[in-house]
Amino acid sequence: MPLTTRTIGALSCQIYDELPTNQSPEVIAVISHGFGAPGDNLVPLGPEILNRNPALKNRVRFVFPAAPLSSLEIGIPDGRGWWMLDIEKLNAAILSGQIRDQRSKTPEGFLEASQKLSELIVELQKESGLPLSQFVLGGFSQGSIVSTEVALNLPEPPAALVIWSGTLLCEQRWISLAEKSKKFPVLQSHGTQDPILPYEGGIWLKEMFEQHQFEVDFSDFIGPHMIPKIALEKFADLLTDLKV
């Protein structure tokens, strides 16, 4: 299938695969973008991953949902957000270099956005007939945070959760969910010079998962708020190694 766009549940999605005609995917990877990015921001990762590991062309379908909110009102005309950010506070924190500890925060609109992503997973399950164990959830920044919330709430564990530059949010809620959740592998990366979601927040998230017996493959890198080459290589390897 070439790149297609359609609404699934409440979210507009870009769907990409290189499966042979009439062949169903073995794995569906749902990858969510960060705040202020256009809805198709991460779509180029689909062909990049498939070209990196050509065997995946016969197995994997990528779904890239666009976040439900427009960021036009804060001056980003083509951007989307899973929930709105206070840009003035964010910029002040970046300029001051202070660590933004959000562990106790549950931002307004966060749970509603997570519910929309969860409903998308349900619809994809119905369409594909695949169990949750053949779904990979992940994303960058805000997209990784809503993916974490959804993964911890699923009735069965996904194949994996991929967190690029995420952070620990609503700590007590996630601890409670992690205690009850069946375990799944977590692939995580974070830049040591990240001014948006500081490195410490990524470490807190890693430790939360490890303290609840989740297997975490964590890569740090010298760099800012971004997805580094090592993270994409490990993502491609994870998809290649999945047993279905």
pLDDT, one tens digit per residue, over 188-200 is: 999 999 999 999 9
Q: What percent of the chain has pLDDT over 90?
A: 83
Mean pLDDT of 9-26: 95
Q: Of the candidates 209, 75, 193, 55, which has an alpha carbon nearest to the alpha carbon of residue 144?
A: 209
Specify the pTM. Answer: 0.94
Residue 237, pLDDT above cutoff 80: yes
Q: What percent of the chain has pLDDT over 70?
A: 93
Q: Are 184 and 157 in contact (CB under 8 A)?
A: yes
Higher pLDDT, 87 or 190: 190
pLDDT at 189: 99
List of E strands, 18-71 = 27-32, 60-65, 69-70
Q: Of the candidates 93, 232, 240, which has an alpha carbon nearest to the alpha carbon of residue 164?
A: 232
**CATH number of the domain to which 92 belongs:** 3.40.50.1820
* Contacting residues for 129 by C-beta, under 8 A, at least 6 apart: 24
Residue 182, pLDDT above cutoff 70: yes
pLDDT, one tens digit per residue, over 91-122 is: 666 666 666 677 888 889 999 999 999 999 99
pLDDT at 85: 79
Q: Of 19-23, 102-106, 201-205, give the lowest mean pLDDT range.
A: 102-106
Taking residue 115's Cβ as centre, other Cβ atoms within 10 Å add up to: 16
* Contacting residues for 86 by C-beta, under 8 A, at least 6 apart: none
Residue 65, pLDDT above cutoff 90: yes
pLDDT band at 2 (very low <50, low <70, confident <90, very high): confident
pLDDT at 53: 94
Q: How many residues does the chain have?
A: 244
Q: How many domains does the chain have?
A: 1
Q: By residue range, what is the domain housing residue 145? A: 4-241
Mean pLDDT of the chain: 93
Residue 218's H or E segment, with its range, is strand 216-221
